[in-house]
């Protein structure tokens, strides 16, 4: 909060000066949005403000109060998922015509095509037939749950392996669990990977264990890499992207029992995997840079 206050104070007049002097047609505001919204409330600008929402917002008292006044002057609000759009609509604090669904520009086709082929990571490993997951090692990503659930998988399929790429506050807990249960030959925590696409594209499947996502970038990236997806049905995101048994496998969020059941079902669905990959590839194309550009352009016209 101290950093936020400092940024607000130091940026207030410089941002006002830029908007007043440069007079851009549009200003897209994202993350630290209270500063431009307060400027919009106080001053009259020719510039049209666009609020880009990323993730389902938590509305505390201050944000709800600010939004109830400032959003009346905003030109447009973009949401990354249908559920977030529905939530913003339900608040009834802004004209619903201003609220647009705009998928994030996640897929850079040329970049991912190159990264799939080149292992530029500092960490190298020689592991075959592994499942892969990646993200911050935090409560949200729920990797400790995944390790515990995968331990149950190993009781039936001891040859399987899971590779986790990421850093975060849960690292010690995860490493302790792996060591305590003698899983060093099956569960691999490889740290931060600059290029996850090399590892992702060579895996037997990508597993998302998150408690919440909006929408879940790694699912979309996996789909584009033609990798089968096994995901929790956590709130906002995966259920919009993955259709159960049509484009992937969904298990009940935070349920080890359902994860084991659905994972075993996935192992028996080898004949359907190509169908999964085709449906997922179609889904991921909505998130390319080019399609984002076309959609945004259409909203502005």
The strand pairing partners of 208, in sequence order, are 231
Q: How many CA atoms lie within 13 A of 73 on its CB side?
A: 17
Q: Is the pTM of this model over 0.75?
A: yes
Distance CA 63, CA 51 (A): 13
Burial class (CB in 10 A: 0-12, 13-18, 19+), 159: exposed
Query: CB–CB of 272/221 below 8 Å?
Result: no
Q: Which residues pair with 163 in a beta bridge?
A: 132, 188
Residues contacting residue 140 through CB under 8 Å, at least 6 positions apart: 210, 211, 212
Buried residues in 6-43 as b, exposed as e (16+ CB within 10 A)? eeeeeeeeeebeebeeeeeeebebeeebebbbebbeee
CA distance 135 to 167: 8
Structure tokens at 271: 């004949």
Are 197 and 254 within 8 A, CB to CB? Answer: no
Kindly list the averaged pLDDT for each block of 10 residues, start to end, along the chain of length 301.
Answer: 89 96 96 93 96 88 92 95 92 94 94 92 83 96 97 95 96 97 96 94 96 89 93 86 83 96 88 78 91 96 87
Measured from the Cβ of residue 154, the count of other Cβ atoms closer than 10 Å reads: 17
């Amino acid at each position: 909060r101290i950093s936020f206050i400092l940024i607000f104070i130091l940026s207030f007049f410089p941002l006002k000066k830029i908007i007043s002097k440069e007079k851009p047609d549009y200003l897209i505001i994202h993350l630290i949005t209270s500063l431009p919204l307060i400027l919009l409330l106080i001053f009259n600008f020719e510039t049209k403000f666009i609020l880009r929402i990323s993730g389902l917002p938590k509305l505390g008292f201050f944000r709800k109060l600010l939004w109830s006044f400032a959003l009346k002057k905003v030109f447009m609000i973009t949401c990354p998922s249908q559920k977030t759009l529905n939530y913003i609509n339900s608040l009834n604090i802004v004209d619903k015509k201003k609220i647009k669904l705009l998928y994030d520009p996640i897929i850079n086709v040329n970049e991912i095509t190159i990264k799939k082929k080149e292992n530029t990571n500092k960490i190298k490993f020689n592991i075959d037939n592994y499942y892969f997951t990646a993200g911050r090692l935090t409560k949200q990503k729920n990797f400790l749950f995944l390790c515990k659930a995968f331990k149950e998988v190993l009781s039936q399929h001891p040859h399987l392996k899971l590779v986790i790429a990421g850093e975060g506050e849960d690292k010690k807990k995860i490493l302790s669990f792996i060591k305590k249960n003698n899983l060093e030959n099956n569960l691999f925590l490889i740290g931060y990977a600059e290029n996850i696409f090399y590892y992702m594209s060579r895996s037997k499947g990508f597993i998302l264990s998150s408690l919440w996502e909006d929408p879940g970038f790694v699912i979309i990236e996996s789909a584009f890499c033609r990798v089968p997806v096994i995901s929790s049905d956590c709130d906002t995101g995966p259920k919009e992207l993955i259709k159960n048994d049509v484009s992937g496998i969904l298990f009940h969020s935070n349920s080890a029992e359902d994860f084991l059941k659905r994972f075993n079902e996935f192992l028996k669905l080898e004949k359907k995997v190509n169908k999964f990959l085709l449906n997922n590839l179609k889904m991921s194309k909505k998130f390319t840079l080019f399609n984002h550009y076309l959609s945004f352009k259409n909203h502005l016209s």
